[in-house]
């Protein structure tokens, strides 16, 4: 790459980053008009279908109901009918093995974020085979975005600990053990453990174009400087574990749903 081309790339990158920063600041200002989050939930979204009785049953509330099991897994899914089964199979296999070996209880809540395919029907097959004590499906009337989908799933959780995991299976579910070790070591009841793929960065950079690498670095810079998040290497990893107390404080105060 010539010197002129490199300078042009840097200038273009700077202008793009400034534009992204401007849009982000506008979005934050728009969604932070009130100190109180606007939680929109349609009446139908307070219920899940029990395939064995074909009846709608009410979800519990994170704020008013005590935890009744060890772990809740929240899986946000939008048009994931093809990738969801592989992720659920891995998830169920891991959790069922643990349940058989120890006094461990769990539930999985698949949040269908207004999908246009039959994501709900695919997830309900697991509710039918495993029972609604193990797998429940929350079908959103309207697409909220990932943040909004995760929040409504979390607000319906029964677990002492709450994990959210992306439905695309980008993270191995067996890595949950690493997150739990860190959580147990914390004495803070409002603890959060964030998964990370930072150890894969060198390989990713080698396979990624210069342009995409610039964008990645720019995004990291934005998160560190504007967002003030300096202690987390991979904020975008879709594998995060919360205590119930931490989840209740965070998700009831979530202003931006579409991130």
Higher pLDDT, 125 or 203: 125
Of all residues in the chain, what percent carry a pLDDT higher than 90? 46
Q: What is the mean pLDDT of residues 35-54?
A: 89
Q: What is the mean pLDDT of residues 5-15?
A: 64
Directed axis angle between helix 3-31 and helix 210-225, to 10°?
Answer: 40
In this model, does residue 16 exceed pLDDT 90? no
In this model, does residue 200 exceed pLDDT 50? no
For residue 49, give Cα distances in angstroms to 44, 132, 190, 214, 220: 10, 8, 32, 46, 41
pLDDT at 244: 94
Q: How confident is the model at residue 21 (pLDDT cuts 50, 70, 90)?
A: low
Higher pLDDT, 6 or 87: 87
- Per-residue pLDDT tens for 100-135? 988 899 999 999 999 999 999 999 999 999 999 999
Sequence-distant (≥ 6) Cβ neighbours of residue 219 within 8 angstroms = none
Higher pLDDT, 3 or 119: 119
CB 176 within 8 A of CB 222: no
**Alpha carbons 180 and 184: distance in angstroms, whole number:** 6
Burial class (CB in 10 A: 0-12, 13-18, 19+), 101: exposed
- Per-residue pLDDT tens for 27-36? 556 655 566 6
pTM: predicted TM-score of the whole model, two decimal places: 0.75
CB 65 within 8 A of CB 100: no
Number of H helices, E strands in the chain: 8, 8
**Alpha carbons 232 and 215: distance in angstroms, whole number:** 18
pLDDT at 60: 97
The whole-chain average pLDDT of the chain stands at 80
Indicate the length of the chain as a whole number.
259
pLDDT at 204: 43
**Cα–chain center distance at 141:** 19
Highest-pLDDT range among 10-24, 148-162, 181-195, 225-239: 148-162
- Per-residue pLDDT tens for 70-103? 999 999 999 999 999 999 999 999 999 999 988 8
Would you say the C-alpha torsion 112, 117, 119, 121 has a positive or negative sign?
positive
**Least reliable range by pLDDT among 4-13, 39-48, 150-159:** 4-13
**Alpha carbons 77 and 136: distance in angstroms, whole number:** 13
SS3 141: coil
In this model, does residue 232 exceed pLDDT 60? no
**Alpha carbons 246 and 163: distance in angstroms, whole number:** 12
Of 196, 194, 191, which Cα lies nearest the Cα of 161? Answer: 191
């Amino acid at each position: 790459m010539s010197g002129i081309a490199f300078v042009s790339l840097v200038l273009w990158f700077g202008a793009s980053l400034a534009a992204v920063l401007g849009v982000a600041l506008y979005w934050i200002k728009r969604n932070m008009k009130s100190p109180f989050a606007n939680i929109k939930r349609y009446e139908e979204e307070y219920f899940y279908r029990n395939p064995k009785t074909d009846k709608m049953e009410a979800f519990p509330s994170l704020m008013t109901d005590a935890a009744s099991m060890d772990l809740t897994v929240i899986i946000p899914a939008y048009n994931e009918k093809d990738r969801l089964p592989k992720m659920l199979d891995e998830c169920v296999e891991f959790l069922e093995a643990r349940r058989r070996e120890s006094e461990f209880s769990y539930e999985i809540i698949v949040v269908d974020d207004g999908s246009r395919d039959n994501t709900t029907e695919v997830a309900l097959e697991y509710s039918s085979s495993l029972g609604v004590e193990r797998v429940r499906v929350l079908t959103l009337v309207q697409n909220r975005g990932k943040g909004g989908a995760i929040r409504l799933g979390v607000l319906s959780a029964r677990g002492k600990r709450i994990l959210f995991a992306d439905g695309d299976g980008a993270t191995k579910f067996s890595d949950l053990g690493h997150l739990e070790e860190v959580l147990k070591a914390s004495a803070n009841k409002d603890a959060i453990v964030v998964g990370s793929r930072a150890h894969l960065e060198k390989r990713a950079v080698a396979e990624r174009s210069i342009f995409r690498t610039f964008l990645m670095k720019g995004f990291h810079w934005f998160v560190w400087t504007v967002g003030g998040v300096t202690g987390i290497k991979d904020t975008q990893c879709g594998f995060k574990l919360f205590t119930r107390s931490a989840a209740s404080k965070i998700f009831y105060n979530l202003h931006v749903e579409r991130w």
